[in-house]
A and B are shown apart, each in its own frame.
Chain A
Amino acid sequence: MPKELWKGNEAIAEAAVRAGLEAYFGYPITPQTEVLEYLSRRMPELGRTFVQAESELGAINMVYGAACTGVRVMSSSSSPGVSLMMEGISYIAGTEVPAVLVNVMRGGPGLGNIAPAQGDYNQAVHGGGHGDYQPIVLAPASVQEAIDLTVLSFDLAEKYRAICMLILDGPVGQMMEPAEMPEMKPIQRANWDWATDGKMGKRERRVLSSIYLDPIEEEKMNLRLLHRWRAIQENEVRYKEYFLDDAEIVVIGFGTAGRVALSAVREARAEGIKVGLLRPITVSPFPHKIIDELAGRVGAFLVTEMNSGQMLEDVRLSVRNRVPVEFYGRMGGVVPFPDEILNEIKRMTASKLSVDANPRDAWLDRMARI
């Protein structure tokens, strides 16, 4: 297919359609609304289901119901809307049905603003809903990646009967870039042995529920999820490396923060600083192994995020105090410019770094001087 100029949000919508999306339920919220708007036109055109629900709660429970029938189903929202969906997300996880959810993150907490942010990392990666479950979380940084990961998210959700969430920050949703769409796939409903799609008098009755009144049965279910999670960790880690071969400092950032860091890393390289970039594409499962490996051969890490250092904790878990980890973040909807990250890289080359310092405290002290 030839490249076309696609806006991130609309590209996700079209990619989902081409991946066989049969039902979409959502509620408008900036900066995500184009996903819903696009599908409100496209889905009826194809005879597929589109519902603008009465609220995010309604939307996620409609997703839950449709997911039980085994069709490809999706919702999308932005930070405050995703918070509203958390109960439903936990129920979907507890029922072990596949669903795809897109969060185009904005500034927060609370109503916040509509500017780009990555403050929902912890909510997506480490929890959100109640109970023991872990969603697969993908973090595209470009429109092409958003397309590819949307298609992948349906495959992963079905393969592991899990929730697959795409977290984007505003720029990825709002930006236009040349990108290639996959071919339109005809809808092929898999013959799932769990789907409640009507027994038509031909088979045993199936029941899907997240209720396990017997704790032993609930624990069995928890173990099932964990074993699946172990397989996900084993097979599904994705990331992109830039200039890592001879790097002495490694910057780690996802989404837009990762892109901004790439510009800074290029500028630092032009000045002769041996710095590389690791951009996680799956933030859950987290690329612990490569960071563990890098910690054995590089001098220091710089984590850069559009939040107060949420992924920072996962990086520190992989580095285990072997080398210093520094942090630079912007919050509230502020997107860092490359020169800010370049300054951090230069500061790190010029000063003596310690593994004992708390990177967030040190960053906060530096921020206070700005």
Chain B
Amino acid sequence: MQKEVIISGFGGQGVLFGGQVLAYAAMDTGKQVTWIPSYGPEMRGGTANCTVVIADHEIGSPLVKNPPLVIALNLPSFDKYEPLMQAGGTLIVNQSMVDRAAQREDIHVLMIPCNEIAEEIGDKKLMNMVAVGALLSALHEVTLKDIEKALGNHLPVRHKHLLPKNYEALARGYGYAQREWDKVPA
């Protein structure tokens, strides 16, 4: 088993942390995992991305050219990764930040209004967790419970009071994505 995920967005959207949460959950459930950020000048204000590889064997390349799973939190990320996706892959798009529909028909595209859902929960910073929750609907090796446990295990004590809202964001994203999958004709 090996799964590759790219999470991409503006700096400040929680791209890197979203990936780390996945990495922690994979580690805590005994899997091999690599997390690697783009560390160029783009970290200072522009777009940022990270690649997470989860496997049950020694991981080779920590970078991936044609990812099967992508979270695009803004339009530049959507534009960049839609053409690069592996056929049959799943692209989670933050619908709140894009103004176009998907062009490819050989991938699954789930439009999730991450900002709006996060704002309904009461903290727009949780949009990354909404997107990670949605991703789990296509990444069955990591469950919602695994992510919740990982957050509980690794979030610094001073942030523990944020846990319930993070859990809610994950669950809302996951639920929204599940309803999108239900609309896909069998």
Q: Interface residues, chain A, CB within 8 Å of chain B?
A: 3, 5, 30-31, 114-115, 170-171, 174-178, 256, 259-266, 335, 337-339
Cβ contact within 8 Å between B39 and A114: yes
Q: Does chain A have a CB within 8 A of B181?
A: no
Residues of A within 8 A of B35 (CB): 5, 175-177
Cβ contact within 8 Å between A5 and B61: no
Query: Number of B residues contacting the other chain (C-beta, 8 Å)?
Result: 21
Cβ contact within 8 Å between B36 and A175: yes
CB distance from A53 to the nearest CB of B (A): 24
Cβ contact within 8 Å between A259 and B23: no
Cβ contact within 8 Å between B65 and A339: yes
Cβ contact within 8 Å between B27 and A262: no
Q: How far is the CA of A120 from the CA of B24 in the complex (A)?
A: 33
- Which of B20, B63, B64 is close to A176, meaning CB atoms less than 8 Å apart? B20
Q: How far is the CA of A256 from the CA of B60 in the complex (A)?
A: 8
Residues of B within 8 A of A178 (CB): 27, 32-33
Q: Does chain A have a CB within 8 A of B166?
A: no
- Apart from the given pairs A171-B63, A176-B34, A178-B27, 13 other A-B contacts in the complex at a CB distance below 8 Å: A3-B27, A5-B23, A5-B27, A5-B35, A114-B39, A115-B40, A175-B35, A175-B36, A176-B23, A176-B36, A177-B34, A178-B33, A259-B61
Contact with A along B14-55 (1 / 0, CB 8 A): 000000100110010000111111011000000000000000
Residues of B within 8 A of A175 (CB): 34-36, 62
Q: How far is the CA of A123 from the CA of B31 in the complex (A)?
A: 37
Residue of A114, A178, A264 contacting most chain B CB atoms (<10 Å): A178
> Residue of B at shortest CB range from A277?
B60
Of the A-B pairs whose beta carbons lie under 8 Å apart in the complex, a sample of 26, sorted by A's number, is A3-B27, A5-B20, A5-B23, A5-B24, A30-B39, A114-B40, A171-B63, A174-B39, A175-B34, A175-B36, A176-B23, A176-B34, A177-B34, A178-B33, A256-B62, A259-B60, A259-B61, A260-B63, A262-B58, A262-B60, A264-B60, A337-B61, A337-B64, A337-B65, A338-B61, A339-B65
Q: How far is the CA of A304 from the CA of B60 in the complex (A)?
A: 14
Residues of B within 8 A of A3 (CB): 27
Residues of A within 8 A of B62 (CB): 171, 175, 256, 259
CB distance from A9 to the nearest CB of B (A): 10
CB distance from B61 to the nearest CB of A (A): 4
Q: Interface residues, chain B, CB within 8 Å of chain A?
A: 20, 23-24, 27, 32-37, 39-40, 58-65, 154
Residues of A within 8 A of B23 (CB): 5, 176
Residues of B within 8 A of A170 (CB): 39
> Residue of A at shortest CB range from B154?
A5
> Residue of A at shortest CB range from B65?
A337
Residue of A5, A114, A335 contacting most chain B CB atoms (<10 Å): A5
Cβ contact within 8 Å between A177 and B61: no
Q: How far is the CA of A265 from the CA of B57 in the complex (A)?
A: 14
CB distance from B156 to the nearest CB of A (A): 13
CB distance from A10 to the nearest CB of B (A): 13
Cβ contact within 8 Å between A259 and B39: no
Q: How far is the CA of A265 from the CA of B63 in the complex (A)?
A: 16
Residues of A within 8 A of B37 (CB): 174
Q: How far is the CA of A264 from the CA of B61 in the complex (A)?
A: 9
CB distance from B24 to the nearest CB of A (A): 6
Cβ contact within 8 Å between A263 and B61: yes
Residues of A within 8 A of B32 (CB): 178
Residues of A within 8 A of B59 (CB): 259
Q: How far is the CA of A262 from the CA of B154 in the complex (A)?
A: 31
Residues of B within 8 A of A265 (CB): 60
CB distance from B154 to the nearest CB of A (A): 8
Residues of B within 8 A of A338 (CB): 60-61, 65
Residues of B within 8 A of A339 (CB): 65
Residue of B34, B61, B64 contacting most chain A CB atoms (<10 Å): B61
- Which of B27, B39, B40, B63 is close to A335, meaning CB atoms less than 8 Å apart? B63
